Structure 1
Amino acid sequence: MALTATLIQLLPLQSGESKNGTWRKQDVIVETEGQYPKKICVSIWGDKINESQLQVGNSLIISYELESREFNSKWYTDVKAWKIEIAETKVPIVENSVFITPDSIPEDDEDLPF
């Protein structure tokens, strides 16, 4: 699954040691686009953390997985990012394009094929 959202807050970087070695986790808060924007906490693990992408205000495309787990009869859901890209907001300019305007459409309908 993927979503496009704007990064609004970086939470403190977490790190530690486990039996498999050093680990790092970065939680970020993003806000979705649309009529009813939602704030979502997304976790980014290990080498997926890219400080150059994680700048407040950047629009990101986040590919993620959802995972829920139970603890003391309560359920907790994690949103884990597995790929993050900066969203391109620029519209490509196509050279030598022909644009049709209402003034350029002929009013003569005798040439219609039906």
Structure 2
Amino acid sequence: MELAGKVIAVLPPKSGTSRNGNEWTVQEYVIETHDQYPRRMCFDVFGADKIQQFNIQVGEELSVSFDIDAREWQGRWFNSIRAWKVERVGAAQPAAPEAPFPPVGAAPVAPVDFAATDEKDDLPF
């Protein structure tokens, strides 16, 4: 799955040691979409190497690819949204919309004469 938006929060990293004795680190981020009704999503990046590689900062425009999983703990279920790819969205400005009227001094365009190609057509209207 994928979601694009602006990073609005970078939460402190959490770390620990697994039952097997392996060190782990995870950091959570909150991203907000630019929809008419903005949505927010908290996602995490697992592993110190990935956290450093992605180097996510507040205010950045990102496209986040992630997986969703759920786990049960003491009779309750929790969702996990884990990012596996983060891309910065280009800061390119959108193209200016085309003007509805031709610029002043532009040569007038002749209207199309549809009667010249009047052929029998099968449309009932």
Please state which band the TM-score falls in when normalised by the shorter chain.
Answer: 0.7 to 0.9
Cα displacement (A) at 1:75: 1.7
For residue 21 of structure 1, report the CA deviation from its aligned partner.
Answer: 2.6
1:78 maps to amino acid: S
Alignment pair present for 1:75 and 2:77: yes
State the number of aligned residues. 109
User: Residue 33 of structure 1 aligns with which residue?
Assistant: 34
**Residue of structure 2 equivalent to 1:17:** 17
Q: State the partner residue of 1:96.
A: none
Q: 1:26 to 1:113 in 2, by over 3 A?
A: farther
Q: TM-score, normalised by structure 1?
A: 0.76
Structure showing greater Rg? 2
Which residue in 2 is equivalent to 1:57?
Answer: 59
Instruction: Please report how far the alpha carbon of residue 73 of structure 1 lies from its aligned counterpart in structure 2 after TM superposition.
Output: 2.9
Q: Is the 8 A contact 1:43 1:79 kept in 2?
A: yes
Q: Secondary structure at the match of 1:49?
A: helix
> RMSD across aligned C-alpha pairs, in angstroms?
2.8
Give the structure 2 partner of residue 8 of structure 1.
8
Residue segments in structure 2 that go unaligned for 5+ positions in a row: 103-107, 119-125
How high is the TM-score relative to the length of structure 2? Answer: 0.70
